[in-house]
Amino acid sequence: MRKLLDEKLARFEELERQMNDPDVLADSSRLAAVAREHGSLAKLCGKYRKFKSLNEQIDEAKALLTSDDSEMRELAEMELPELREERETFWNELLDMTIGGEDANRSRCIVEIHAGTGGDEAALFARDLYEMYRHYCESKGWKIEVMAMSPNEIGGFKEITFAVDGEGCFRELQFESGGHRVQRVPVTETKGRIHTSAATVAVMAEPEDVEVDLKPEDYRIDRFCASGPGGQHVNKTESAIRLTHFETGIVVSCQDEKSQHKNLAKALRVLKTRLYEHKREEEQAKRSQERMTKLGSGDRSERIRTYNFPENRVTDHRIGLTLYKLDVILAGDLSFVIDALLDYERQELRSSFGTIE
């Protein structure tokens, strides 16, 4: 925890120096990226600086307890409880702000939803999940932008990728990564039988441009005609873009914009995010011996939640949470689930870090 905060503060101070660097000031796009990252760290680092200052004041007050000056000893005895209480408040706030590790305070993330087993019903479920997240994001005042989608012929999504922009979005959505399962009677079912279908969700922190070193020679661009469900052509120009990253084999396609330039820009954002996530996963694997909670793995193959329509029930298997509010949750009120997940992680963090003395 302290190591993470020290690294964040060091990065924040480096960004402060860069914002006064003539080379950075002369490059508007680089300056904008530096300023955005600096802004995303400002709140956390401001609190951590105050926390460190309180630690210094507490050390000074403790030293005065052995002073020969009785007035100074009395003053220190009076100040210490107040300083410790204030420090505890800041520590709890820092714990809350670091839920999710080094990317906790990212204000941008990219969400991918893929239909799994279940055919058309799985695609309809993927659409339901997208609508749930869309309504939740709108209720939080976050901006949402569809980056790519692959609809099927009955209105579902084989897959959909969208970006979210807003304070706290990654911190709140990060634990949605994993396998989601639905149990219900499909609209195509004539005998009223309950079917089980699945979809996977991946929530990835979106990095700043300066954090991912991606050169044109690192990937191949393929241009092709955009198409809709069943191969129906949306347009006859080669506006769709496919990027293939040579080293990792990651492939990204975008075709929803009529402009090739806009599709390329979106595809590059998604590719950079996937590369950042790939690097993060590699680093996490190297640190596998370190603490990881039930919420911390982000393993997309892990079944994390079941949505049971006949019982109007939602169950999060990681923390044993069961709510009979499926209709409310699917309508976008995810706070019941997200608040419980954040509280679980908060308690795990506090128990692992122990006291701050």
What single string gives the DSSP state of each residue in 130-188?
Answer: HHHHHHHHHHHT-EEEEEEEEE-TTS-EEEEEEEEESTTHHHHHGGG-EEEEEEE--TT
Say which range, 186-195, 244-253, 331-340, has the weakest mean pLDDT.
186-195
Specify the pLDDT at position 286: 64
pLDDT above 50 (res 233): no
pLDDT, the chain, mean: 87
340/343 Cα distance (integer angstroms): 5
pLDDT score of 40 = 80
151 burial class (0-12, 13-18, 19+ CB within 10 angstroms)?
middle
**The domain 2-98: what is its CATH number?**
1.20.58
Please tell me the predicted confidence (pLDDT) of residue 101. 73
Nearest to 161 by CA among 280, 273, 245, 250: 273
Select 106-357's CATH number: 3.30.70.1660, 3.40.50.300, 3.30.70.370, 3.40.50.720: 3.30.70.1660
pLDDT digits (tens, 9 = 90+) for 66-120: 888 888 989 989 999 999 999 989 988 888 787 767 788 788 999 999 999 889 9
Task: Please give the pLDDT value at position 231.
Answer: 46
Q: Percent of the chain, pLDDT > 90?
A: 59
> Can you give the pLDDT at residue 291?
43
Distance CA 129, CA 307 (A): 10
The least confident of 62-66, 126-130, 301-305 is 301-305
Q: What pLDDT shows up at residue 116? A: 93
Confidence of residue 59 (pLDDT cuts 50, 70, 90): very high
* pLDDT, tens digit (0-9, with 9 covering 90-100), for 243-289: 999 999 999 999 888 889 999 999 999 999 999 999 888 877 765 54
Domain boundaries, the chain: 2-98, 106-357
Q: 117-146: per-residue pLDDT in tens?
A: 889 999 999 999 999 999 999 999 999 999
